[in-house]
Chain A
Amino acid sequence: MSLERVCGTYLLIASGDALQRFEYVRVLNDTGGEIMAMAAEGKDTEDVIHEISILYEMDEEDIRPGIRSFIDEMETIGYLLPMKGE
């Protein structure tokens, strides 16, 4: 899977063998794209929550459920391997 940004739009794109398991392309919103980018850098869930809270100037506790839910969905689909900090 590749995370690409085209004209400001985040895309998750499957290639090679992954095309047999995943849809070719999935559009992510800005937050989803930023989370996936941080995950690709090896950050764990708490790091992601912390950085997103700074980026959007929001309280970590307020955004934690939403971010965890998104990460869970990505792991369930298989776009992400289980992240540390869970």
Chain B
Amino acid sequence: MNTKEIVVVLAETEMAFRLHFAGTEMPFLCYERERERTSVRTYVKADLKKVYEYKKENRCSEWYAEYCCLMNEAGNVLLQSDRVLFHGVAMIYKGRGYVLTAPSGTGKTTQFRNLHAIYGEECRIISGDKPVLRRMSEDEFWIYPSPWNGKENWAGNEIIRLHAVVWLEQGNKNLIEKPDISDMVLPCLSQIIYSAPDPRTVHEACRMTEWLLRHVPIYKFTNTGDLQSSKMLGDFLDREAE
């Protein structure tokens, strides 16, 4: 099978994707760098067996299955350089960077949609599904966009310092809490996108989780998912930033 190679830059890390199917390159075009301008040494490709399994389970095209399977492989590479592909909606709210995170179906997209409806352009998207978080220093993470933006394909092109993470849970009333970080270890670790290929990469994922939890505020927002809940979140983020 012929492969096509494109060099992609994610959060200022270069990697060469080896693609099997025509069409897979489309979501990566915004991140492509000319081969001649790079010194890339890292190669990423999806496991074909997993691609076909994904295609069968999700009834999608081969190129889309490959595009999705590449996420985990890219996640593995990013972990080697203080970066992590993280499941969540990354946004800029009133000039500060936030990630709303939770398992799929909890309401991340709903909360962002509501916030954007209330605050307009004061609330903008960076990534609708899987931003890259990059550890810039001991206590500083920055948010970068990525090619994986979820069903809505919400994507931005800005980068910003990560101010806080908000863990969402569904509930029948609205409550924002500051949880004990030990309670957020498993939730945060489970939101890191990678394939856990070996103990070394697992260790990097754990290290990033520890740094994130120790240096970035994390809040737990149990919410009803309506506009009122999003207004409450916005008001809280305003007070928290003061």
Interface of A toward B, CB cutoff 8 Å:
2, 4, 6-9, 11, 13-16, 19, 24-25, 27
Instruction: Indicate if the CB atoms of A16 and B206 lie closer than 8 Å.
Output: no
Q: Which of B196-215 contact A (CB under 8 A)?
A: 196-199, 201-203, 206, 209-210, 213-214
Instruction: Indicate if the CB atoms of A11 and B196 lie closer than 8 Å.
Output: no
Assuming the contacts A16-B198, A25-B190, asked whether A7 and B213 have C-beta atoms less than 8 A apart, the reply is: yes
CB distance from B157 to the nearest CB of A (A): 32
Assuming the contacts A11-B206, A16-B196, asked whether A6 and B201 have C-beta atoms less than 8 A apart, the reply is: no
Q: In terms of DSSP, what is the predominant structure of the interface of chain B?
A: helix
Instruction: Indicate if the CB atoms of A11 and B185 lie closer than 8 Å.
Output: yes
Q: Which of A13, A19, A27 has the most CB of B within 10 A?
A: A13
Known: A4-B202, A15-B201. 6 other contacts (CB 8 A): A7-B182, A9-B185, A13-B202, A16-B198, A25-B186, A25-B190
Among A2, A7, A13, A25, the residue within 8 A (CB) of B181 is A7
Among A7, A14, A27, the residue within 8 A (CB) of B196 is A14
10 contacts between A and B (CB under 8 A): A2-B203, A6-B185, A6-B209, A7-B184, A7-B185, A7-B209, A7-B210, A9-B186, A15-B202, A16-B196
CB distance from A63 to the nearest CB of B (A): 24
Instruction: Indicate if the CB atoms of B196 and A19 lie closer than 8 Å.
Output: yes
**Interface residue? B159 (CB, 8 A):** no
Chain B: interface size category: 10 to 19
**Interface residue? B189 (CB, 8 A):** yes
Instruction: Indicate if the CB atoms of B182 and A24 lie closer than 8 Å.
Output: no
Task: Give the distance in Å from the alpha carbon of A11 to the alpha carbon of B181 in the complex.
Answer: 15
Instruction: Indicate if the CB atoms of A2 and B189 lie closer than 8 Å.
Output: no
CB distance from A23 to the nearest CB of B (A): 11
Residues on A with C-beta less than 8 A from B196 are 13-16, 19, 24
Q: Which of B182, B185, B203, B214 has the most CB of A within 10 A?
A: B185
Residues on B with C-beta less than 8 A from A6 are 185, 189, 206, 209-210, 213
Residues on A with C-beta less than 8 A from B182 are 7-9
> Whose C-beta in chain B lies nearest to the C-beta of A14?
B196
